[in-house]
A and B are shown apart, each in its own frame.
Chain A
């Protein structure tokens, strides 16, 4: 176990910058998740930590020691991949002990047995030690693959999209299983994924990466509620956050947002007024999460309400999603799963303006982060 520090880490492949000035401190024993779309530089970052790739510039420290000049097998970093990559003709015990028997690692048989038993116990696979991989379920294979990384008692454990190759239903189950295993992993862990639900579920802290650069670091809830920019806001949440371009207007001393098509009028909530007080910004993107929109029935106040027509309605999982055409916008609204709407019928929506996020229309940065 050890603290991991990345300082101004950059990696170029030819003239493509895969990792761009990444600085990050991962505390001893922390479970950190790196979230980003494909091509964001997630896997390259892991490879730099493991030593499989050399950084173009910047430093890597594990337990306070610089790692840049140290060979991968001397770093005490273990990596588990997307595919389980178990040896099909070895039973679980031999798969687990394999990394300890590699040339150059001289562990006594007793020590090997102790570690294998301990990890097997932790991951609840001790009753499977004599089985071959083909006799295991996906969940069990997953645990063996994880066990094989843990048995080396690494300082840092790197997990690269360990469950993303599974289909949606199985992935949901495996996520819950993984969540239950999290407590058993004591190494400083970095988990890489492109799935925001995995990231939200598993992370102590979450790092969002885009085109090699860190966009935001923080607790999952913090990022969900207070995204640093439009990219982070859109990456977290399904359906995606609604974005409405607005101009700021001061009428009768009240600060209001009017959408550029004139169809939506929103009051600026108390907590955001300070950031707009200097009057420098006149165009913003209002970010409204689908769960903060509702279907209005009854009286209509003057603002925080808008009208349009039903574009489409879908029931998905535990909720329904109403997509409404309002002016030039399509707004997604989360509803109870038992609602029904008819396509092209009129509909009025209420907007919980207190939950708004506002972004600079030019830079796409959250106005609270300026």
Chain B
């Protein structure tokens, strides 16, 4: 069995999660501090990829990062390369599509922190940035871990935006869902089934971890 779709999926999903994490934490923190009106505007923007059809997101990414798009031209000028139809495109598609789920979990965690913990920390001499790292992040860590898991799983399952923006190039941009799609089209149902099983196994383990984080055993440090 060709393992390249699995490796590529793990690579793109892992990098997408790493890219998303600091942005989602920052957005979560910002939203938890904003007024209701501003908060709802930012939340709408953050949640957009979740409600838009994935192919629409893929199309928008292709337009933006394609050879004639603003982002594409910028990258071409800076790095003399095109990213459309590469594993980088697959990573970006996975990042954009998984961001809302990760952000949602982190936003909820940040919003549930009583503001007074941060106020007390300030009265004890901590600057806002120190409060962020010593109080806010530790108190939100369960939601952040949960966000990492759901974001990673969502990135692994990304299909629609990836196929439009990154294509379905074997060994280059073919992730597990795209490989399953190809194998099905070629009538290789056994290969498709094996990939589906691997995909399901990763998802089950992730859900188990997610549940464990959400309801940790009493003696757990999480």
A binds B: no
Question: Which residues of B does A touch, CB under 8 Å?
Answer: none
